[in-house]
A and B are shown apart, each in its own frame.
Chain A
């Protein structure tokens, strides 16, 4: 639902200001009305959860572009721009009531701004929810890539052990996720349904001939504060019942600590927030903390990341089972319409159009400079005279082989000022 009353007030103000822009005889009044329309549209952007665009609209449109308009109107002289020479008889007289109306609606705009900003601060506004998203992690014991299907449609193939697919959307009504070994193996299917705006990871694990699947819900919201990273462990190792993850930070003092309590097989740990630093991880048996089962050195937490670390069984080529810790990273996504999100897609998906727009702005800059130089000295050209070394008749005469006649004794018509004798009856 939209907030109806702020919408009606601001929409009416926008239409009234646009009508004023159309009907005003004074170009400056038109420009000021257009600024009001743009502020109203910025407000609409704010109500549509496009906060970045709302600010761009005010700074670029209402600020830069309209100031340019006002400068040009000022430069050309406002009086000369009036369409109607007698302003009292123009259409403006019939719309005198517009001024108090626009004044009242502007007050409404101010209150509506306050209302919408308070709603955004308290989280009462509803940002659009993206489609539910899923990624598939390959933590299967066999060292073989897997293919991923959604409702029997191939999404990705060749996902190697320890890797994951990118996020892909699934229908809100639920979907069947299938994971098949290799490119044409027998698929293992799983029906899942998650609400819009949420995300889940499907983990393929186990040491059997076919992977088993497990769904873990994931949070993709921004980590706060952003210098931190979010991580969660899951123990999917059948070989060892309970395991403990130890973390060694290296800094001024080396510290060794248990990041989360011991995790039993099939159990998911709490989500912990962690500083974005480099650490070493070790998996140990809680009964024998000295014997390290597996370790990862120099694990770098990226800022604003949501990492899922899977303790899994991996089959060696000789058939022995090793317990390893596989990290699956996922960068957190910025909320809808924020500068962070718009900037991210500008610099990834829309990089080429972004650069083309930059080129266009450069071209228009050069065009404006050329236009300004042309118009700066319009009278410079007529002042110049072509300098001809010889009179034109002599040049033509020389080319056609005739005798050159000097201008002094050539026959010539009488001047127009003195009429010829006998011509004035």
Chain B
């Protein structure tokens, strides 16, 4: 299971690294090369984002990647097939990240079944709070998949406990207000927030939004279990190309 995988890895490493890509960006061939470089450089788990035309919670970098991928003809079917290939080739857990409409239009139960068939371990659906997600939660349970819930700095403690009661695998802690890809201050305030998160759940904590270098990750050691890098690798690919991904991941010093 996802949680036990994370716990086992944490016996060997102080902090794990989760990375994120938008499927089909810049192309599916590139997506494959990026994943290969990331896994070889020691990434512990990965989020594969299925592009959506209205990615409300994402900032400019990931938004553009969604749009580019779609304009090049990415479909949900293609994303599922591609992910199945990826999972056959690389031996780390992969999660889906997408918006609820993608699951809803596919059919929530059928989508969960397909995730299970191809070997995806869990999903992050940022616009689906548990109140709206009964079908999703049931389907994920049926196929033994981890629905991953999000804590934010505006989430009251009681609600954290409520969210954690539906969550499996890990909790994704958003470092700050705002969308993905903006600047985050790694400060004592973040310490307080993370210790609050820790108190609210026994699940491993991943921290994302604004994590972009070794300094940020070192700061998180002992506070979070997983550091999440999202927009930063896309930004890097946009400026320097797919070839630099491996070295960038290695520079984070997590393997």
Q: Tell me if chain B binds chain A.
A: no
Binding site for B on A (CB under 8 A): none
Q: Which residues of B contact A (CB under 8 A)?
A: none
